[in-house]
A and B are shown apart, each in its own frame.
Chain A
């Protein structure tokens, strides 16, 4: 114990630049946003330094609550689908021979070296009415009119799932990889069916990875505004869209700031809930 403390001291001196960095670029801006959220919108430009709760009151109006609901719904569906698609992917990847495994992980990561906006445009080319998929279906005679696939709620979900699934796969993969397979063998030896062994042994052991993946997918998905703008024809409003519109279109900085505060609190709530449920330290440092 004593030893750790002294090494902690040495570390803290080395961490001073980091501490300063955090203070200047994280803590002060956050306080500024907090301060801004209690100010009043100026009639022309900027804010008037006058304390008011108007912005928070505005958030409670039905329109804004609907945006929250829609955001949460999209985030929930995104999390669910990334989990359903990502779990088998991660599970079987972890069971591959070493070389094949690193190749698969590489293939998973490589597209993410490209700007996400460019990749979303790729999806638009695939899905639009004279796009790759529609032309293919038409030439195969499967359909006789182009399907309206782009600019729907479904296309927003596809974009979201596509953008966030690596986080899910990588979190689950890391816990499947660390898993003690001899426990599964033991369960099988004692007569459990493959499914029973999976649900009673494998799933609980990989729960931390699932939880981490869910948090890593759910939290950012309320803010990825460009996906709903591009793939949903801006007809799906997420919290991220709302904040951007408040700041740039309505020039209502206090409301934008208040929305940001609420969003941050929600995200932290999610992470706190996760820590409570998982009771482990795999997300140490996030909160």
Chain B
């Protein structure tokens, strides 16, 4: 009896799974044929972090074009890639994610080439943000925002001038530093103090970096990826190393905080938009990219996201963009991008775990 039951349930399961699989393939084929026909359905599926595209921009787009926006949020780049892979590069029309994951997605063949004839504003992209490693020929992506982690400190609580990463090790800062809970960025700043690349894969150099990082521990009050600025604003910590939007937010709450462009060199990252290879509505996606590349709108977006603007047209004076959000090309040239390090990511992660445990 029980064997019978098991067999029956197994058979039913198999039937269910195949039925589900059937569903998904018929779905993707129908959406594929849809994109070939001229009149696209007036829908745009956007896939990115919640709130990253300002609501007023999305509403304006719908008003101007009649295209309905479906916003699907993700939590992390990795989640995005997992879902995009499961959808075989379909389901979504616009994906906004970080540089390194775009590089992986491009190598997996998940990106669709942009039809720049449908994106006249493509020329607005600032040259410093073009020809990046994740898209060397500018065929697939539109940079949306850039982030450069910086040091912020509260002069009331620190009695010396901070000029670089090395100062974070100063014994005067015992138990009063917050840095992001992120292996690559913090091991990266340690590497920078040693004059090494942020993307080193040499285990010996990483071992030295680990030794050095361990000596930073007594100064660390907390590791916080999402809200380090709150620790700065509330006076919990005297010094913080955090992402651009967090720096700007902290400054808005407490204008007395000082921002440091570390002398050892900067690390930076770009978040860019791409169209997945089997996007159901690519023409709508191109129209949307053109829409947000407009100088005035791009400036408005940066004022809301508080990330560095990547659009040369947005820097025009009449848009009054916050100067902190515009960065000169020579600063970008001297900055180093954080890239995917493949299998070495495990080593970075182990160092990070050990650092937390120490």
Contacts and interface: CB of A to CB of B under 8 A. Distances in A.
A233 B349 contact: no
Contacts of A229: 181
A13 to B, nearest CB: 9
Contacts of A224: none
Given A19-B5, A234-B222, A63 B354 contact: yes
Contacts of B343: 41, 43
Interface residues of A, number: 41
B175 A148 contact: yes
Interface in A22-65: 23-24, 28, 41, 43-46, 61, 63-64
Contacts of A20: 9, 12-13, 16
Contacts of B1: 9
Contacts of B279: none
* Size category of the binding interface on chain B: 35 or more
A20 B343 CA distance: 38
B345 A251 contact: yes
Contact of B349 (A19, A70, A245): A245
A251 B183 CA distance: 13
Do most interface residues of chain B lie in helix, strand or loop, or is the interface mixed? helix
Given A20-B12, A45-B104, A245-B353, A12 B346 contact: no
Contacts of A242: 353
A63 B353 contact: yes
Interface in B299-358: 340, 342-343, 345-346, 348-350, 352-354, 356-357
Contacts of B221: 148, 151, 233
B294 interface: no
A63 B234 contact: no
B236 interface: yes
A164 to B, nearest CB: 22
B235 interface: yes
A24 B342 contact: no
Nearest to A248: B78
A237 B9 contact: no
B167 interface: no
Interface in A52-88: 61, 63-64, 66-67, 70
Contacts of A130: 234-236
B181 A234 contact: yes
B272 interface: no
A40 B63 CA distance: 50
A23 B13 contact: yes
Interface string A104-145: 000000000000000000000000111000000000000000
A235 interface: yes
Contacts of A245: 349, 352-353
Nearest to B81: A45
A43 B345 CA distance: 9
Nearest to A24: B13
Which of B17, B81, B236 is the most central at the interface, judged by chain A CB atoms within 10 Å of its CB?
Answer: B236
B214 interface: no
Interface in A137-177: 148, 150-151
A229 B222 CA distance: 9
Which of B108, B175, B221 is the most central at the interface, judged by chain A CB atoms within 10 Å of its CB?
Answer: B221
Interface string A223-264: 000000100011111000010011111111001000000000
Interface of B: 1, 5, 8-10, 12-13, 16-17, 76, 78-79, 81, 85, 104, 107-108, 175, 178, 181-183, 220-224, 234-236, 340, 342-343, 345-346, 348-350, 352-354, 356-357
Interface of A: 9, 12, 16, 19-20, 23-24, 28, 41, 43-46, 61, 63-64, 66-67, 70, 128-130, 148, 150-151, 229, 233-237, 242, 245-252, 255
Given A148-B221, A235-B356, 13 more contacts: A20-B9, A24-B13, A64-B353, A67-B357, A130-B235, A130-B236, A233-B224, A234-B181, A235-B223, A248-B78, A249-B183, A250-B346, A251-B78
18 contacts: A9-B1, A19-B5, A23-B10, A23-B13, A24-B16, A43-B342, A44-B108, A44-B340, A45-B108, A61-B350, A128-B236, A130-B236, A151-B221, A233-B178, A234-B356, A237-B357, A249-B182, A250-B346
